[in-house]
Structure 1
Amino acid sequence: MMPLVRFLGRLLGNLGIALFGALVAAVLVYVLWARAQPPLQLWHQVALEQEFTAAKAEEIATLDAYRALEDRVFAELDAEVYAQVPTGPAQRLNRFSPGSASDPRRREPNWNRTFELIPERPRGGVLLLHGMSDGPYSLRALGQALHAQGYRVLGLRMPGHGTAPAGLLDVTWEDMAAATQLGARHLADSLDGKPIHIIGYSTGAALALDYSLDAMGDSGAASGADSGADSGADSGAAAELPVPASLVLVSPAIGITPAATLTRWFALMSHLPGLEQLAWTTLVPEFDPFNYNAFSANASLQVHRMTRATTRRVRRLAAEGPIEDFPATLVLLSVVDATVSPRAAVDNLLGHLASGRHELLLYDINREAVTSPLIVTDTAALTKQLMADASLPFAITMVGNESAADRRVIARYKAPGTAEVVRSDNLSGTWPDDTISLSHVDLPFPPDDPLYGRYPPQEPGQVFLGQLAIRGERGVLKIPAQWLLRLRHNPFYDYQERRVLDWIDQANAPTGNADD
């Protein structure tokens, strides 16, 4: 018996040493990779002192104060970055070169800034929450459509965003949650009792979920070894927060890979001399006027912390049964998403909510293209499983091919608690010839978007990052080839916009304020 125990002990010891060695080797490879990345630029390192943080929430308690602080941080950006960056042909695609084709200050309005659209007689209010690394531009089109329907719309710029990528080095999700609460309170205070709604894109969807839990009165208190830092940003003020009538969650960051926890160590190591580049998981030239191309280890860590916190809160509430009275929630999602887990929207949220008020609008892959040997990802298992599951407490609309041999697109609807497709709506369109699926980044952008759309705008001299068919030798373009492959507009946006407007109208109507 003893020899066996000693053998098992040695075996476990050797396995531990091997695993530790593999981890060290992986870290060394990452360090070497990071140091081989392009050199850091001014916009990766500048510290903007005027930015909003959760610690300033008592001082900056109104939208007017928030926007005044935003004015100061953009003035600081002009002095510390734009005034220091050269101009000329070599800088034509540099977002931070004054007057370049990518300079967001050339566009009116500058959609990196907080914006508010106010109709004469608002029916309700909608708070727009963008994702990590982008800005208010991402939900601009939906906001303008809602304003045209009579809603007061607030597109809130999150702290650390819209300025310089260096803002992602120290922003926390608590900072963004505090800004979300400020924005929701502003809308509620300006609407005289009319309902508010929240549309969140990617990380903004996680913020909308966290906010809703706070507004419903969940304290966010975690159990076991969980720390208070992972609970709601201001749970003590939950009673003061208006509960949204509805949520629309676009490509929601409700679950991401656990490997994101490693970014905490990379962020810490980046403070060592010579390892500054470890603070960044992506370093790409900044040619996009409304979205950072660089992404920091801290940003990844903050998304992980937020999704972990909200998931634990949802599961704790659901331990006593399906969550009742949760805001009517519509989730918009592509079945293939390289940024977030599509399955997490079901497992971490929709599956825990009481039946009858919620829906998943899921975009399938182009089935007519799946026969190509170039396709390496087929999501048929997930789509078939969801459509065949009669136990799901939420409705599903599946947007996809009429048949596997047909490019025409239809929307198949099944109600909660059934596997029967009860309605099929023709979208009056087909999959574009060059499109095999939607993506994480394209859902909120229409085909005529002047930056990410299918066709370039008529105005000359501005950068266009949409549908580009460019061929040539690698290394010639400043824009990475992989970046160009990702679809950046939604071919079915018109249908989606109608669904979002109908969803918010329906949630808004029971209050009796629709025709006030």
Structure 2
Amino acid sequence: MVLPSFRRLLRRAAWALLFAVLAALGLLLARAFEARGKPDLMPWHRIVLAQEIHADTFDARATWANVLSREQQAFDDLHAQLAAAAVEGEFRYEKDSRLGARMGERDWNRSFESTPAEPRGGVLLLHGLTDSPYSVRTLAAIYERAGFAVIAPRLPGHGTVPAGLLDVRWQDWRAVVRIAMRELRARVGADKPLHILGYSNGGALALDYALDALDDARLPAPQRIVLVSPMVGLRPFASLSRWLPLFGGFGYFEKSRWIDILPEFNPYKYNSFPTNGALQSYLLAATVRARVAGRSASGRLARLPPVLAFQSVLDSTVSSVDVVHALFDRLPANGSELVLFDINRANLLAPMFRSAAAGEIDVLHGTAPRAYRLAIVGNLGADTLEVGEKRYEAGTDAPVERAIRLAFPADVYSLSHVALPFPCDDPLYGSAPRTDEDYGIRLGTLVLRGERGALQVSAEQLQRLTCNPFFAYLEGRVADVLP
């Protein structure tokens, strides 16, 4: 017999659940209606590439040659569909666009690779979400100069059209990573070291693979993990994105499948952003965090190879706090190191920082003992733009300081998520781009001034730092861990 008081409790709980469901549905509907006010969808927001790579079409016998063959078929299909739906204009996918590689030049939207005659080792480089292999090209060059074989795969859904991310799953990315690592091992031999380097979303994939290799002897195990702005934690909104596409099947709400619908003026990165892309990164990052926590608690993380990671203290894409506390604080004492790039505290704009931004380095530094080395790159003093390194060895809280002969540009108040892998002479993203390569636009030099509300892209997005003034330091630190 159910007691009256218990029945009342059940009714209250049922009503509370109903109100919660209705509130969530109302929020989703509101966002779906809001999405209808976004710009019109273009062909590149709808194109479906039947030959794109999916995990369920590849089995354990799939080879790197299979991946490259499917990639070629996908690009052939893309070019045919764009030609059939030609749109006049000057942006990336429009007729006679000048953006991107010229005829006969390397298309950095595609996978790239290189293998010396006698490789010292091999490295797999994984690009970020909405990016292309272009984002790891300069990092790859560090390894090429050291005699390493290099493979940088184009991850499914990337490098083609933004619509490629509408139906991709993070397991599709995982499948390509496994195939590429098998190919890398075959190229360098059983006795040479393997590294895996991931930028942003690619950082989560690198960790995911390294964790798999701990439990599966059939997977070639990396001896070193290098992470740049690793996507270990994301904003909670990404979890909501799993429900927004529910309305996308109705023409009236088709735009609800998109977080952003923007002009495509970047030849090697999407500006438009599908909700499914956010969801897949959210699921991947959540999976990696849970796996790291579980293996740390059970002691099975002890065999993880050393991790070298670079992270901007201010990062609006990934959670710097999660990089520190959900990853590094759980790592074994295996020689891992985290490099944090602090804000510019000598800048004239420093008093304008929000208190949370100014104090973020203290939150990340913390007071608990660390099993890893921590390096903080920041101003040598409050009155100078010159920067130095404070290095805290594992288990100590007394830094060793040294100058690194670099300085903050006077107009830069912090690094950003998208800046770290690019030197400032990068031909596309650099603030002082070299001119031996021309992709039709110099995104790092754009300085736009005018009235607000006139641009399709937010001024804040265009002002985001796109290159790393301390890339020479990052480059040297990566070179230091090469055998």
TM-score interval, smaller chain: over 0.9
In the other structure, the counterpart of 1:501 is 479
Provide the C-alpha distance between the structure 2 equivalents of 1:104 and 1:60, rounded to a whole number of angstroms: 33
What amino acid is aligned across from residue 138 of structure 1 in structure 2?
S
Q: CA deviation at 1:346?
A: 2.0
The one-character-per-residue Cα deviations of 1:48-93 (angstroms, maximum 9, x if unpaired) are 0001111122287111121111111100000012442234xxx12x
The one-character-per-residue Cα deviations of 1:304-330 (angstroms, maximum 9, x if unpaired) are 111111111111111123721211101
Provide the C-alpha distance between the structure 2 equivalents of 1:9 and 1:214, rounded to a whole number of angstroms: 44
- Structure 1 segment 187-336 matched on structure 2, within 5 A: 187-193=184-190, 194-217=192-215, 238-321=216-299, 323-336=301-314
In the other structure, the counterpart of 2:87 is 86
The one-character-per-residue Cα deviations of 1:253-311 (angstroms, maximum 9, x if unpaired) are 11112332211110122112311101111111111100011111111111111111111
User: For the structure 1 residues 379 and 239, does the alpha-carbon distance in structure 2 shift closer, same or farther, using more than 3 Å as the test?
Assistant: same
Q: CA deviation at 1:3?
A: 12
- Structure 1 segment 57-68 matched on structure 2, within 5 A: 57-58=58-59, 61-68=62-69
User: For the structure 1 residues 11 and 402, does the alpha-carbon distance in structure 2 shift closer, same or farther, using more than 3 Å as the test?
Assistant: farther
Provide the C-alpha distance between the structure 2 equivalents of 1:4 and 1:437, rounded to a whole number of angstroms: 58
Provide the C-alpha distance between the structure 2 equivalents of 1:450 and 1:123, rounded to a whole number of angstroms: 29
Percentage of pairs with the same residue? 39
Deviates most, 154-163 or 452-461: 452-461
Matched, 1:154 2:151: yes
Structure 1 gap ranges (5+): 218-237, 510-516
In the other structure, the counterpart of 2:39 is 38
- Structure 1 segment 365-404 matched on structure 2, within 5 A: 365-369=343-347, 372-376=350-354, 378-387=356-365, 389-404=367-382
- Structure 1 segment 375-454 matched on structure 2, within 5 A: 375-376=353-354, 378-387=356-365, 389-421=367-399, 423-454=400-431
User: For the structure 1 residues 167 and 388, does the alpha-carbon distance in structure 2 shift closer, same or farther, using more than 3 Å as the test?
Assistant: closer
Provide the C-alpha distance between the structure 2 equivalents of 1:377 and 1:33, rounded to a whole number of angstroms: 32
Structure 2 gap ranges (5+): none
In the other structure, the counterpart of 1:119 is 116
User: For the structure 1 residues 379 and 478, does the alpha-carbon distance in structure 2 shift closer, same or farther, using more than 3 Å as the test?
Assistant: closer
The one-character-per-residue Cα deviations of 1:167-216 (angstroms, maximum 9, x if unpaired) are 10011000000000001110001111211101101110111111011111
Provide the C-alpha distance between the structure 2 equivalents of 1:446 and 1:397, rounded to a whole number of angstroms: 20
Asked if 2 retains the 8 angstrom alpha-carbon contact of 1:99 and 1:106, the reply is: no
What amino acid is aligned across from residue 77 of structure 1 in structure 2?
L
Q: Find the residue that maps to 2:108 and give its secondary structure.
A: coil
Q: CA deviation at 1:370?
A: 7.6
The one-character-per-residue Cα deviations of 1:377-415 (angstroms, maximum 9, x if unpaired) are 643444224445251111101011112332211111001
Q: CA deviation at 1:474?
A: 3.5
TM-score for both structures, normalised by structure 1: 0.87
What amino acid is aligned across from residue 414 of structure 1 in structure 2?
Y
In the other structure, the counterpart of 2:27 is 26
Provide the C-alpha distance between the structure 2 equivalents of 1:105 and 1:59, rounded to a whole number of angstroms: 37
Asked if 1 retains the 8 angstrom alpha-carbon contact of 2:379 and 2:385, the reply is: yes
Provide the C-alpha distance between the structure 2 equivalents of 1:131 and 1:461, rounded to a whole number of angstroms: 20
Asked if 2 retains the 8 angstrom alpha-carbon contact of 1:256 and 1:341, the reply is: yes
Q: CA deviation at 1:355?
A: 1.2
Deviates most, 256-265 or 371-380: 371-380
Find 2:136's aligned residue among 129, 136, 139.
Answer: 139
Matched, 1:70 2:71: yes
Asked if 1 retains the 8 angstrom alpha-carbon contact of 2:100 and 2:107, the reply is: no
User: For the structure 1 residues 322 and 431, does the alpha-carbon distance in structure 2 shift closer, same or farther, using more than 3 Å as the test?
Assistant: farther
Provide the C-alpha distance between the structure 2 equivalents of 1:16 and 1:373, rounded to a whole number of angstroms: 46
In the other structure, the counterpart of 2:174 is 177
Q: CA deviation at 1:338?
A: 0.7
Q: CA deviation at 1:104?
A: 4.2
Deviates most, 104-113 or 294-303: 104-113
Asked if 2 retains the 8 angstrom alpha-carbon contact of 1:389 and 1:418, the reply is: no
User: For the structure 1 residues 372 and 314, does the alpha-carbon distance in structure 2 shift closer, same or farther, using more than 3 Å as the test?
Assistant: closer
Q: CA deviation at 1:45?
A: 0.6
Q: CA deviation at 1:5?
A: 9.4
- Structure 1 segment 329-344 matched on structure 2, within 5 A: 329-344=307-322
The one-character-per-residue Cα deviations of 1:201-259 (angstroms, maximum 9, x if unpaired) are 11101111110111111xxxxxxxxxxxxxxxxxxxx3211110101111111111233
Q: Find the residue that maps to 1:127 and give its secondary structure.
A: strand
In the other structure, the counterpart of 1:220 is none
In the other structure, the counterpart of 2:440 is 462
What amino acid is aligned across from residue 340 of structure 2 in structure 1?
L
Q: CA deviation at 1:420?
A: 1.0
Provide the C-alpha distance between the structure 2 equivalents of 1:410 and 1:113, rounded to a whole number of angstroms: 37
The one-character-per-residue Cα deviations of 1:89-124 (angstroms, maximum 9, x if unpaired) are xx12x1112431224455821000100022232100
Deviates most, 493-502 or 374-383: 374-383
Q: CA deviation at 1:460?
A: 6.5
User: For the structure 1 residues 406 and 275, does the alpha-carbon distance in structure 2 shift closer, same or farther, using more than 3 Å as the test?
Assistant: same
Q: Find the residue that maps to 1:52 and give its secondary structure.
A: coil
Asked if 1 retains the 8 angstrom alpha-carbon contact of 2:314 and 2:416, the reply is: yes
Asked if 1 retains the 8 angstrom alpha-carbon contact of 2:259 and 2:273, the reply is: yes
What is the count of residue pairs matched by the alignment?
Answer: 479
